[in-house]
Structure 1
Amino acid sequence: MVNNRFLDVIKILLEHDDYITINAISKRLQVSNKTIRNDLKQVEEWLKENDLTLVKKTGVGVTILGKQDAKVHVMHLMQQKNAQSIDYSPQFRKIYIGMRLILCPQNCRIYELANELYVSRATIHKDLLALAPMLETYKITLHRKNNNGLSVEGKERNYRAMLLELMNHDNGYQKFTAMIKDPDFPCTGDFVFPALDYIDDEIKEFLQVLKHSENSYLHTLLCPSLFQVLLHLFICFIRVREGHYVSLSDPFIEELKSKPFYEETKKLIQALEEYYHISFSETEIRYLQVFLISLQSSSDTAKDEQEEARELSDLLIAEWEKHLNYSFHEDTELKSALYAHLCPAITRFRHGISIENPLMYEIKTLYKNTFSIAKASAHILTERYQAPISDEEIGYFALHLAMALERAKKPLRTVLICHDSSSATKLLKRKLMTQFPELDIVAVQSYLTVHDFPFHEIDLILSTMELNLDNDIPFIVINPLLYDCDIAHLKTIITSYFQKKNDPLLKAVQQKQAR
């Protein structure tokens, strides 16, 4: 069984680019320093197996060093291990309680939730407070009864939208997607989603019914979209089976008659109706049609929505330029990618449809600043559609912005000062250029000529000897032979300077201060 705290320690370390003290980790996890020190022994061994190094500095703290792709690989491994671990964290309890409130045919009772989650009633009350913003987002009202009974009130489509978001974040979602990918998935009779009374055999049966329906539409979907369509269908299935139905206005149903994907939706529904002997109303079919429309490609989008997507793309990019004080005018790739994402997203915004983003952990860990900028710009969409925009959707915007910033990154303009022979200097320069793609060595100088060199627009000076130069440019003394240990040490320093040069928020702050 995986120790959740072990995973939490690694997660905290990966979230910090710099050193963090053991005391800070212990306070965050509410355990002793000694416990964290013991955990770090296991963490260190596990990181070694995954090409990462745990570095400890007395009086400074601990950090993880290694290549970015190794860190991303570790994040994926942690997600897999999380699915195997027993989880009674506040996030798990929030998901569990939210699902139980919607799915419970009668009132939920606080003492029952406390017993099911192995916590006190006071903790359940705190969890309900944590759940309140989500309920408000979906316009669902929580009613508390004097006898500790809990019930919710809202529109059925809002219940389903909230269920979709909760199930996307439940650990059971990984098992759900594994069952889709593997037709021979070994079932154990366990509940996939702990708050839902469906075991893995039943969910696998449901998925097989749809897969064997020979619906060509499913084969056109990429994996993330396929997962969402099947999960959405599953939610609709269990709600209809329990007698809960959505309602849509007559004008909106009439509007949908001119939209695509009706026949594809109807075929999926017919497969469920024939196998389970249940009936879906025309309104239910139209409701599912809207979800399929929300996943369509930009080429299938109506012309008016294409124009709207172009307008929104321009507005978002302008907002990002204002935050970063940087122009994306020449980045046609950003405009094209953002437009392609917004075309189907407009339907999601209008109808409050959630979308899964499997990269959320990586985005919030590796692109924290970019995500904060994307989130700050979401008011453009919120104000237009009078609905909140989910973090998953914002995460996709953050990815588009992050990719644009990656394309805009510039190497460190570097001067190399070397007092050795010409051949030794050439060898050193070649080593530096091979090992450090972050460097652009624009000039090689000797200690005799360097004092006359114009250092404007230079970011870094590397020298094989100590020198006193009259400027504020970072100056690093390097070994002319550049051994492996020198390269490892230098990598950390150069990466730090490279990130600072290309940090959009830092540059924006510096430009403001310079005014």
Structure 2
Amino acid sequence: MPDYTDMWGVMMDSIFKERWVEIIKILLNSTRPMTIREMEIKLKVSNRTIRNDLDEINIYLKENKYGSIVRKPRVGIWIEIDDDRENELRKMFNEINRYVEPFSPKERQLYILKELLKCQNPITMEELSEELYVSRITIFKDINKIEEDIKRYNLSILRKQNYGVEIIGSESDFRKLVTEVFKEDRDVFSQNSLNFIRELLLESERQMDFFFTDESMSSLIFHIAISVERVRQNKSIKLDCEKKDELKSHREYSIAKYIVEKLETEFAACIPENEICYITMHILGSKIQRDYRYDDERLLSILDKDVVKLSMEIIELIGNILSVDLSNDKALLIGLALHLEPTVNRFKYDLVIKNPLLPEIKKNYPSIFGASWASSVLFEKYYGYKVNEDEIGYIAIHIGAALERQKINTKAIIVCSSGVGTSQLVSVRLGKAIPNLDIVDVISLHEVENIENKNFDIVISTVPFEYSLKPVVQISPFVEEKDIEKIKKWIKNIEGIRKPDKKILDDTLGIFFSPSLIFPKLNLKTREEVINVLGDYMLKYGYIEPAFLEEVFEREKITSTAIGKGVAIPHGNQKYVKRPVIALAILEKPVQWGENDVDLVFMLAFKEDSKLNMQNFFSEFYKILDDEKILNDIRILNSSEEIYRYLSRR
């Protein structure tokens, strides 16, 4: 049996569209034309709602070649359809349940928001009340909540009596909200339209020397579809002349122009120049993949010099924080610079990208994510942009890959005097039991004098043997469990010698904290309350200027500073910092911080001349994040002094 639910998917993404099924059932089952009034009574919705539904249903039926809805004055309404197609529709309906009220308040508000974004005309409270089977008071409260949520997009809701409600604001901000709300719900556009745009982009790629990543391709298709739909609704983007001229200077503009010419033909639309620039912006901001080797240093000569410089400084900064030398990793430098070229364009043109891996990055690599946050000061320094957590997440991926490349197994030579069979047994057993041990060679005792010529870290011997230059571990020829544990301890010591001192906390951490700015057991309910309390005390004690707090809120509006494990690190612009400091709040109960629950809040205030201090702090801070015990200890300590002594080891 065909998957009718999938075939009907475009009509089944909301309760509103499920009502379409009911309308079609009524028309198919009726032996005569139906009137609007009769359908009003059956479905308990307004005349206008029925008329709008019939318009949408008719478009769908025609696009999918099922037939059409016929409306004849003083006669009624019916569906004109042949028997085979009617049977297909009826079989579909057997797979689809009658619509019921499935919404929680949050789901209902999302539904209303989607309708406000899709509708070309204002929607009345009465229509929403009828559609959702709730009172007008409930709809009124829902609208208030929605308006509060969309403020961060600089949008608001216009309400007028006998007019309805609609979202108002700039077209650019409106499209950002559309992108966010419908990011998982692409059914808002017909599949045929999306397929056409995909083929058009694939054709355009052949004119360029790079290809879009799958993620960027999907995003571009969606943005172009939004552009076409909004133009058809006479809603075009607005750009100033200076920005338009700058965009037209890029060769990507000619690609966008070619795309628009094809779109105009396909969709019978006249697309203005501003929309060509809008598509150019999104091409420039798209992540790309090039057909190059990432260890090919010639790439650096064709990349933007400022971006390469930024990449090098980010690598140096994060390397210092993590106490690891990343400066010789050319694959990291090239990969990061390739990533940052479109990143800078996204900042420049105020474009947003979503990182689908962000929750996993925060959960599994909080220390790397936390260290990568430090790079935000460099974006502000060179470009004046506030970087969001999605972009930080991508930087963390590049750093994580570099750290994986740095993992070096311990190299060992095995000395065995019992013959080839025993030496092979020892080698195989150790290889299976200790994956991070590379066996460089297996030699007999009389070959020991030649081992200076080999590259190794440790000698593992089945016979007593002294060697002054490297550790020697004596084991049984049968490799017992105690032998394996003994070797593992030596490997741990050797790996520790390779790394800088990684003691859990350093005395220098105390420089950044003050008992007067540590607040245990705070009973606050929102992110805003926490920021205000910490900011007020930082202001009171002369650490920051008033504008610092405004900057913190502005940053949180752009992106959450939650970094995982219940920790957030709100921070403001360094130019409003008088003296570097960190204020710490330990909350009685977690508060919602973006999409995360947070109960430990470190508000960071650093200055340009405290760059070394900042690096030192993050170097210690990432160790805290990696250790659940330290985080939990901070949570359970009862006084500011106790927490201060614990953090500073004073």
Q: TM-score, normalised by structure 2?
A: 0.46
Gaps spanning 5+ residues in structure 2: where?
1-101, 291-298, 440-457, 510-650
Corresponding residue for residue 347 of structure 1: 345
- Indicate if the aligned counterparts of 1:90 and 1:127 stay in contact, CA closer than 8 A: no
Which of 241, 250, 254 lines up with 1:259 in the alignment? 250
Partner SS, residue 410 of structure 1: coil
Per the TM alignment, residue 125 of structure 1 is displaced from its structure 2 partner at its CA by: 6.9
Q: CA deviation at 1:393?
A: 2.5
Aligned-pair CA distance for 1:163 = 2.7
Structure 1 counterpart SS, 2:408: coil
Distance (Å, rounded) in 2 between the aligned partners of 1:121 and 1:376: 47
- Equivalent residue runs for 1:50-449 within 5 Å: 99-104=114-119, 105-106=121-122, 112=128, 135-136=151-152, 138-141=153-156, 152-168=167-183, 170=184, 172=185, 192=187, 196=188, 198=189, 202-208=190-196, 211=199, 215-217=203-205, 221-222=211-212, 223-295=214-286, 306-360=304-358, 362-382=360-380, 384-412=382-410, 423-424=421-422, 426-434=424-432, 436-440=434-438, 442-446=458-462
Distance (whole Å) between structure 2 residues aligned to residue 420 and residue 271 of structure 1: 78
Structure 1 counterpart of 2:546: none
Could you tell me which runs of 5 or more consecutive residues in structure 1 were left unpaired when the two chains were aligned: 1-86, 174-191, 468-474, 479-492
| 1:344 aligned partner, one-letter code | P
What is residue 485 of structure 2 aligned with on the other side?
476
**Do the aligned partners of 2:430 and 2:479 also contact (CA within 8 Å) in 1?**
no
Distance (Å, rounded) in 2 between the aligned partners of 1:507 and 1:91? 49
Root-mean-square deviation (CA, aligned residues, Å) is 5.4
Instruction: State the alpha-carbon separation in 1 of the partners of residues 438 and 328 from structure 2.
Output: 23
1:476 counterpart SS class? helix
Please, which moves more after superposition, 126-135 or 322-331? 126-135
Aligned letter for 1:278? A
Q: Distance in 2 between matches of 1:125 and 1:417?
A: 78
* Matched residues, number: 372
For 2:112 and 2:226, locate their aligned partners in 1 and report how far apart those are by CA, in whole Å: 17
Deviations 1:251-280 (A, max 9, x none): 221222321122221222222222322211
Contact 1:209–1:275 under 8 Å retained in 2: no
Q: Matches of 2:438 and 2:181 in 1, distance apart?
A: 48
In the alignment, the residues of structure 1 paired with residue 410 and residue 324 of structure 2 have an alpha-carbon distance, to the nearest angstrom, of 18
Instruction: State the SS of the aligned residue for 2:435.
Output: coil
- Secondary structure, in 3 states, of the residue corresponding to 1:310? helix
- The answer as to whether partners of 1:97 and 1:113 remain within 8 angstroms in 2 is no
For the residues of structure 1 that align with 2:228 and 2:498, how far apart are their CA atoms? 47
Q: Secondary structure at the match of 2:221?
A: helix
| Secondary structure of 1:510 counterpart | coil
Give the C-alpha shift of residue 335 in structure 1.
Answer: 1.0
CA distance in 1 between partners of 2:109 and 2:416 (Å): 61
Q: TM-score when scaled to structure 1?
A: 0.56
Shifted more, 102-111 versus 124-133: the winner is: 124-133
* Shift in alpha-carbon separation, 1:90–1:335, aligned structure 2, 3 A: farther
AA at the equivalent of 1:327: D
Q: 1:271 to 1:427 in 2, by over 3 A?
A: same
- Whether the aligned pair in 2 keeps the contact of 1:416 and 1:463 (CA below 8 Å) is no
Instruction: Measure how far apart 1:444 and its partner are.
Output: 1.5
- Compute the displacement of 1:126 (Å): 9.6
CA distance 1:330–1:497, shift in 2 (3 Å): same
Are the structure 2 counterparts of residues 269 and 428 from structure 1 closer, same or farther at C-alpha, using a change threshold of 3 Å? same
Q: Name the CA shift for 1:313/1:235 in 2 (closer, same or farther; >3 Å).
A: same
Instruction: Provide the residue aligned with 2:506 in structure 1.
Output: 512
Q: Given the superposition, is the C-alpha separation of residues 286 and 358 from structure 1 closer, same or farther in structure 2, using an over 3 Å criterion?
A: same
**Shift of residue 287 of structure 1?**
1.6
